[in-house]
Amino acid sequence: MVKICCIGAGYVGGPTMAVIALKCPSIEVVVVDISVSRITAWNSDQLPIYEPGLEQVVKQCRGNNLFFSTDVEKHVSEADIIFVSVNTPTKTRGLGAGKAADLTYWESAARMIANVSTSNKIVVEKSTVPVKTAEAIEKILSFNSKGINYQILSNPEFLAEGTAIQDLFNPDRVLIGGRETPEGQRAIQALKDVYAHWVPEDRIITTNLWSAELSKLAANAFLAQRISSVNAMSALCEATGADIAQVADAVGKDTRIGPKFLNASVGFGGSCFQKDILNLIYICECNGLTEVASYWKQVIKVNDYQKNRFVNKVVSSMFNTVSGKKIAVLGFAFKKDTGDTRETPAIDVCKGLLGDKARLSIYDPQVTEDQIQRDLSLNKFDWDHPVHLQPMSPNTVKQVSFVWDAYEATKESHGVCILTEWDEFKSLDFQRIFDNMQKPAFVFDGRNIVDVKKLRDIGFIVYSIGKPLDPWLKGMSA
Ligand code: NAI
């Protein structure tokens, strides 16, 4: 029986391995992690991450051919194929701080593999890593090899949170990069055989190692660039009276462009886009490609601009101050159908409003109070380290309250900010919300999900990104 071990039981390691176990009953899959709390949660009824469909998959295989364990060394030493899916945060100190990927966790995983292995291994990069990481890993392994043969493959993950299970069941492509040697090609084939249990062969692409590593960074940069493009256009729509939804629809009808990923919003978030683009920028700079680096930098700058613009719109329309005012925040996750808050635009928007001394009442159907308090008090990039290395009890931000109901959050508030596009926000009773708010009552829709006309008819002053401005907001600086 082929044995797979995955190091890192996070948003990628957990769902990916659960689907491999489900689709390949003849393979034993063990997911290991140094975080005891994460492994305990994977073995319980309360999984550590929320993802539609995940629970059913885990329940079907757990205890049969899918296991979660903290006994990292044992399972690594027994495995034929080792996936490494650990954190690759942005460096906060030293050379490349604020841009380069911090490979501390990757390197320690590689050294541990070298220490405990007694048989040949295929080591698969599942984490997103800088181009040429495989070479570094190869060196660590081969210098400590004790005669063992290691083949390194790059198999970046393209799943999107919120649709991870669907994406894994039916991927657009699976990408496998490896050495162009007979051993390298055999390793590629071994991993191909795993995916071939359910992925059509023409969707499994094989390349050299560096193309696979770079393709992941490039794919995320292209996706984020699309969001920044439509967001940049949304600012121009507000200035001219055009409607971003109509512009995006017209633009997306061109089959060369396509309609997906063209929703204007308060900005992109998630653990990957910013981190991977910063990483790409750093690689460009290291290779002397300053113009290419500054081209990609602009994608992040526009994203920051969009978040700032949103905060400025809120403050300026409420008489240039939100000091002491109650602002309801609906949605904190970086997008719907996930509880993940890493790099969510809600953090920057909330911090911006708190900077102007607002009182916030936050509701998100999948995010806990503890998580929100952490996010609002952690330093930039600290979130991307294993949980046990983060501060135990971060400072409590006192001006923030957390409720489990949208109506409670909005009660007696001066304004409502919609920051995640949860479906339930689309069907809220806005008349009821209006009746219980201070007047004038404002709605700032950061996801373009409300019916602007209907809300204006109720009496709200509405700001919706990229839409013709409410007369109240015209001429206000932001
Ligand atoms: P995560 O933070 O949810 O999970 C990483 C896990 O690795 C943590 O549970 C941590 O405790 C564990 N870990 C760290 N060092 C370890 C070690 N030496 N031994 C055992 N366990 C260790 O991160 P996530 O989101 O799963 O991402 C992992 C990688 O996949 C990152 O490189 C990320 O950029 C990439 N990725 C993430 C996607 C996403 O949507 N979250 C999508 C595609 C790629």
Six token digits for residue 27? 């393979």
Per-residue model confidence (pLDDT) at position 92: 86
Residue 318 Cα, ligand 1 centroid: separation in angstroms? 41
Cβ neighbours of residue 457 closer than 8 Å, sequence gap 6 or more: none
Contact predicate 153/177, CB 8 Å: yes
Q: How many CA atoms lie within 13 A of 236 on its CB side?
A: 9
Element housing 81 (H / E): strand 81-84
Compute the distance between CA of residue 368 and CA of residue 374 in angstroms, rounded to an integer. 10
* Ligand 1 atom nearest to CA at 88: 32
Compute the distance between CA of residue 122 and CA of residue 26 in angstroms, rounded to an integer. 18
Instruction: Write down the residue that tokens 């949660």 correspond to.
Output: 41
- Sheet strands (E) in 202-320: 204-208
> Phi then psi for 188, rounded to 5 degrees?
-60, -45
pLDDT digits (tens, 9 = 90+) for 289-346: 999 999 999 999 999 999 999 999 999 999 999 999 999 999 999 999 999 999 999 9
Atom 3 of ligand 1, residue of closest alpha carbon: 10
Per-residue model confidence (pLDDT) at position 89: 87
Compute the distance between CA of residue 210 and CA of residue 154 in angstroms, rounded to an integer. 8
Per-residue model confidence (pLDDT) at position 476: 73
Contact predicate 329/350, CB 8 Å: yes
Per-residue model confidence (pLDDT) at position 93: 87
Per-residue model confidence (pLDDT) at position 378: 82
pLDDT digits (tens, 9 = 90+) for 354-393: 999 999 999 999 999 999 999 998 876 676 677 666 655 5
Least Cα distance to 244 among 430, 447, 473 occurs for: 447
Atom 41 of ligand 1, residue of closest alpha carbon: 11
Kindly state if the Cβ of 266 falls inside 6 Å of ligand 1: no
Compute the distance between CA of residue 40 and CA of residue 307 in angstroms, rounded to an integer. 37
Longest dimension (CA), the chain: 75
The catalytic site residues sit at 272
Per-residue model confidence (pLDDT) at position 429: 98
Q: How many CA atoms lie within 13 A of 278 on its CB side?
A: 19
Residue 8 Cα, ligand 1 centroid: separation in angstroms? 5
Contact predicate 122/190, CB 8 Å: yes
Kindly state if the Cβ of 72 falls inside 6 Å of ligand 1: yes
Residue segments in the chain with a per-residue pLDDT below the cut of 70:
380-381, 383-384, 387-395, 477-478
Per-residue model confidence (pLDDT) at position 1: 85
Peptide bond into 171 cis (omega under 30): no
How many Cβ atoms sit within 10 Å of the Cβ of residue 46?
A: 9
Atom 30 of ligand 1, residue of closest alpha carbon: 127
Global confidence as pTM = 0.94
Six token digits for residue 107? 């390197």
Residue 226 Cα, ligand 1 centroid: separation in angstroms? 25
Compute the distance between CA of residue 9 and CA of residue 69 in angstroms, rounded to an integer. 9
Task: Give the chain's mean pLDDT.
Answer: 94
Six token digits for residue 344? 């969510």
The SS3 of residue 272 is coil
Per-residue model confidence (pLDDT) at position 90: 87
